Amino acid sequence: MDIFFYEAFEEEAAKIKQHLPENIRAGFTWKTIQEYGQEQPPTGLISIRTQSQIPRQWADKLDGILSRSTGYDHLKKYEKQTGAAFPMGYLPLYCHRAVAEEAFLLMLALFRKLPQQIRNFDTFHRDGITGMEVWGKKLLVVGVGNIGSQVVSIGHGMGMDVLPVDIDKKFPDLKYVEIEEGLRNADVIVCAMNLTDENEGYFHYDLLKQAPKGTVFINISRGELSASEDLLKLLEEGHLGALGMDVYEEEKELAVSLRSQTPSNNLKVAALKKLQQKENVIFTPHNAFNTAEGVDRKAEQSVQQAIRFLEKKAFIWNVPYL
């Protein structure tokens, strides 16, 4: 076997098989590494997404890892923990539009109280479902890279007053603001930052408390950037008006707990499950990338990465070494 794909859901696996050359032998499972339960890697080159826990003892048995994700913080963490020195690849360009559109799916659904509207159809009552328009609202976009720049573009197109925040101001046509100014004025905050060791937990209680009461918070980047217990506190205090998320703290444990319907003793997972029950919260299962167009690009680029690695022992898009 040349490559084994973990976390490959049905549509993704089908697309990868369409793009794979006949001479590359591949295995597939929808499970994470920990759910699949192997003691040894099935082959030298494996491909994961973000929920697999790569065993430490595999560090001297693997030739390479390809993460089918735009972020690579989980690979850097594994490299740091184990000293793994083999090539690691990722996919930086396949889903930036899809993820940005998911931010607006969550935003519009929360602004217009979509879950409550759907519930009220059974009685056809309109009590308690008056929503808001996004036109003229102040949109704070924190992290203006491939995804964040698309959020900015869509926000402008919807008539929002966009406030971009980034330490790397690479779009000269944008009028950037500092985070404190943006927070003071935000109606809605979209987290589109890359996760690093330095910014983990960036959206903590004291920071978000600076936003006006009723602000909507959206995270389509990485769950570790927003502390789940702090979000729960802010929502229960009535400071945050609504919450939309596609990514989560302790996502590996959360995903396995939900799929297996087994309890978790992790306080962060418990906070997320409590948040899930609130009607002003919408959670999606790390699915922002998952459009037909995005999945096709993802499959094609994954195969391009695999071919390059099998030929050259290096990826087209390599994770930088420590």
Alpha-carbon distance of 219 to 107, in angstroms, equals: 10
Alpha-carbon distance of 171 to 150, in angstroms, equals: 12
Dihedral angle over CA of 290, 291, 295, 296, nearest 10: 180
Question: Contact, 120 vs 144, CB < 8 A?
Answer: no
The predicted-structure confidence for 140-181, as pLDDT tens digits, reads as follows: 999 999 999 999 999 999 999 999 999 999 999 999 999 999
Alpha-carbon distance of 87 to 320, in angstroms, equals: 9
CA atoms within 13 A on the CB side of 178: 2
Question: Contact, 321 vs 89, CB < 8 A?
Answer: no
Q: Name which of 221, 235, 293 is nearest 70 in CA terms.
A: 221
Please give the radius of gyration of the chain, using alpha carbons only, rounded to the nearest integer. Answer: 20
Domain ranges in the chain are: 3-94+292-312, 96-283
Please tell me the CATH superfamily of domain 96-283, with its number. Answer: NAD(P)-binding Rossmann-like Domain (3.40.50.720)
> Residues in the chain with pLDDT < 70?
322
> Can you tell me whether residue 104 is helix, strand or coil?
helix
Cα–Cα distances in angstroms (integers) from residue 309 to residues 21, 58, 84, 103, in the given order: 14, 18, 17, 33
Alpha-carbon distance of 181 to 302, in angstroms, equals: 40
For 182-202, the DSSP string reads: HHHH-SEEEE-PPP-TTTTT-
What beta strand segments (E) does the chain contain? Answer: 3-5, 26-28, 45-48, 64-67, 88-89, 138-142, 161-165, 188-191, 215-219, 240-245, 281-283
Specify the CATH number for 3-94+292-312; select among 3.40.50.720, 3.40.470.10, 3.30.1540.10, 2.30.42.10.
3.40.50.720
Number of Cβ atoms within 10 Å of the Cβ of 185? 14
Q: What is the pLDDT of residue 152?
A: 98
The predicted-structure confidence for 12-31, as pLDDT tens digits, reads as follows: 999 999 999 999 999 999 99
Helices 251-260 and 267-276, axial angle in degrees (round to 10): 60
96-283: same fold as 3-94+292-312? yes
